[in-house]
């Protein structure tokens, strides 16, 4: 046990220092304009989060290809950036780096989890659809080898722009069922070329992306990867796979490995009520006791990696659990996401000890009566609607802060679902019109 606490600074392998051990987990903002550029709403939001005390803020996923977004309001960086686009990114970066805060841009390609409102034909390693009811995602087509090479260059290009415009690090999104995670997952990656089959081949997209990003941003700039500790699906990316990939990333030279888990089919990253999946590897009960969902998994990974600091995100809600996880060496950084939609200043309160336990909104929010929308609802569609409603609730709090308002915790999940869906439809239409 060490005496590391959330207040301890951390120097990363590249030489950069985080002022404390709390990082805001990436959360999609949906605040881009119809051309997918950063806006004044990002500036307002990130000023608030940078004033809130975190050592590091991760942005919501910024996309490297406008055809395959996670949602219509994503920021996109592709191709040459106009002076206007650069200025918008620079204002965003300036806001999020106030108070010596690090602001790292999360880069992603949504792959087959691109909603049908964005495209009816997303792309994936193989032509295998997301197994979810409601026709939310189109059937993907398999990427060609040339397209995969192009995607790697897109990540590197966007990382270079992030550095040039004042972001202080980048994170490659390799988790949660987006493209890189799909390549790692044998259920979705059934390719027989050098990008599929063995774990080495399935990890090639991730490893080549890390290499290309490092070559673009240089040795002194933080690079992180968000990786699943497991997909928690039968035949998916397993925990053993994850440990091996973490070792390769460690050898490649990474500054922070963020450990998460799951995907849209298996949303364990949120511990979503009602999803009690048939795990290949059940979320271990000791992890549950330790509050953070993936800590036991991170512990295995930390034993396997030599140089790379770890960040664990998902479920941290008490100072006691955060400090215990840091002191045990199972993680080096504590990621916190949803609570910062409700209270942007929470990290300051944890750091000065004025708050020791955070309210678990995720255990309270429901679309309707517990007997219908509670954990045991047998109907997939109802469970799915509930999960989207709750997700919409958090997204709307983020948008309120982007508009200079305070979060509204009295907002009903039902109202949030309606407003969120209407917002997404409007954003998709505006984007299509601007194209
Ligand atoms: C509204 C919302 C948006 C999210 N967007 C992203 C994202 O863009 N990228 C990502 O890696 N994770 C995203 N996540 C997942 C979080 O980063 C985090 O892994 C998850 O919320 C668990 O952490 P928590 O228990 O502290 O909330 C999002 C979560 C929420 C609630």
**In a domain? residue 435:** no
Cβ proximity of 170 and 104 under 8 Å:
yes
> How many angstroms separate the alpha carbon of residue 337 from the centre of ligand 1?
6
Pocket test for ligand 1, best of 25, 360, 398, 424 (most atoms within 8 A of CB): 25
Give the structural domain span for 352: 10-357
**In a domain? residue 418:** no
**In a domain? residue 396:** no
pLDDT reported for residue 384: 77
Ligand 1 neighbourhood includes 394 CB (under 6 angstroms): yes
Ligand 1 neighbourhood includes 227 CB (under 6 angstroms): no
Domain with residue 261: its CATH number is: 3.20.20.70
Cα 166 off chain centre by: 21
> How many angstroms separate the alpha carbon of residue 411 from the centre of ligand 1?
20
Nearest to 360 by CA among 297, 282, 273, 284: 273
pLDDT reported for residue 381: 72
Radius of gyration of the chain measured on its C-alpha atoms: 20
**In a domain? residue 405:** no
Q: What one-character DSSP code corresponds to residue 191?
A: -
- For 123-255, strand residue ranges (E) read 123-124, 141-142, 169-174, 223-228
pLDDT reported for residue 292: 86
**In a domain? residue 347:** yes
Compute the distance between CA of residue 432 and CA of residue 435 in angstroms, rounded to an integer: 5
Compute the distance between CA of residue 105 and CA of residue 162 in angstroms, rounded to an integer: 7
Pocket test for ligand 1, best of 226, 269, 360, 399 (most atoms within 8 A of CB): 269
Ligand 1 neighbourhood includes 315 CB (under 6 angstroms): yes
**In a domain? residue 69:** yes
Domain count, the chain: 1
**In a domain? residue 373:** no
**In a domain? residue 321:** yes
| Strand pairing class (10-11; 17-18) | antiparallel
> How many angstroms separate the alpha carbon of residue 335 from the centre of ligand 1?
10
Nearest to 78 by CA among 55, 47, 43, 109: 109
Report the C-alpha dihedral over residues 119, 75, 106, 181, rounded to 10 degrees: 0
The sign of the CA dihedral 77, 27, 216, 85 is positive
Q: What one-character DSSP code corresponds to residue 291?
A: S
Per-residue pLDDT of the chain (435 residues; tens, 9 = 90+): 899 999 999 999 999 999 999 999 999 999 999 999 999 999 999 999 999 999 999 999 999 999 999 999 999 999 999 999 999 999 999 999 999 999 999 999 999 999 999 999 999 999 999 998 778 899 999 999 999 999 999 999 999 999 999 999 999 999 999 999 999 999 999 999 999 999 999 999 999 999 999 999 999 999 999 999 999 888 999 999 999 999 999 999 999 999 999 999 888 887 765 554 444 454 554 444 468 889 989 999 999 999 999 999 999 999 999 999 999 999 999 999 999 999 999 999 999 999 999 999 988 898 877 666 665 566 667 777 888 899 999 999 999 999 999 999 999 999 999 999 999 999 999 999 998
Residues whose CB is less than 8 angstroms from the CB of residue 46 and which lie 6 or more positions away in sequence, other chains included: 57, 59, 92, 95, 96, 103
Nearest to 177 by CA among 219, 136, 211, 144: 136
């Amino acid at each position: 046990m060490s005496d590391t606490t959330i207040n301890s600074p951390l120097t990363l392998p590249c030489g950069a220092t985080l002022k404390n051990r709390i990082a805001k987990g990436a959360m999609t903002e949906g605040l881009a304009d119809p051309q997918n550029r950063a806006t004044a709403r990002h500036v307002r939001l990130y000023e608030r989060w940078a004033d809130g005390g975190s050592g590091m803020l991760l942005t919501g996923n910024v996309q490297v290809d406008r055809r395959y977004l996670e949602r219509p309001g994503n920021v996109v960086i592709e191709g040459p950036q106009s002076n206007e686009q650069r200025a918008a990114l620079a204002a965003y970066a300036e806001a999020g780096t106030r108070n010596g805060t690090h602001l790292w841009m999360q880069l992603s390609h949504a792959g087959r989890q691109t909603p049908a409102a964005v495209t009816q034909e997303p792309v994936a390693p193989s032509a295998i659809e997301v197994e979810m009811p409601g026709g939310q995602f189109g059937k993907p087509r398999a990427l060609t080898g040339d397209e995969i090479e192009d995607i790697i260059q897109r990540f590197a290009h966007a990382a270079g722009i992030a550095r040039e415009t004042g972001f202080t690090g980048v994170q490659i999104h390799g988790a949660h069922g987006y493209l890189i995670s799909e390549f790692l997952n044998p259920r979705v990656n059934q390719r027989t070329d050098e990008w599929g089959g063995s774990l080495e081949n399935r990890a090639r997209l991730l490893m080549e992306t890390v290499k290309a990003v490092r070559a673009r941003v240089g040795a002194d700039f933080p690079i992180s990867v968000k990786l699943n500790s497991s997909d928690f699906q039968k035949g998916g990316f397993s925990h053993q796979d994850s440990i091996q990939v973490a070792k390769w990333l460690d050898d490649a030279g990474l500054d922070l490995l963020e450990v998460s888990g799951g995907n849209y089919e298996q949303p364990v990253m949120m511990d979503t009520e009602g999803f009690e999946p048939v795990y290949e590897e059940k979320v271990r009960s000791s992890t549950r006791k330790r509050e953070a969902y993936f800590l036991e998994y991170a512990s295995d990974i930390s034993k396997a990696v030599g140089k790379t600091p770890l960040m664990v995100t998902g479920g941290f809600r008490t100072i006691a659990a955060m400090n215990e996880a840091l002191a045990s060496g199972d993680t080096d950084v504590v990621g916190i996401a949803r609570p910062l939609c409700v209270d942007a200043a929470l990290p300051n309160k944890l750091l000065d000890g004025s708050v020791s336990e955070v309210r678990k909104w995720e255990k309270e929010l429901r679309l309707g009566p517990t007997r219908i929308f509670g954990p045991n609802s047998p109907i997939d569609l109802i469970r799915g609607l509930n999960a989207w409603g709750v997700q919409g609730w958090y997204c709307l709090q983020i948008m309120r802060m982007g508009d200079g308002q305070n979060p509204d915790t009295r907002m009903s999940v039902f109202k949030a679902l309606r407003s969120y869906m209407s917002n997404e439809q409007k954003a998709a239409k505006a984007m299509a019109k601007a194209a």
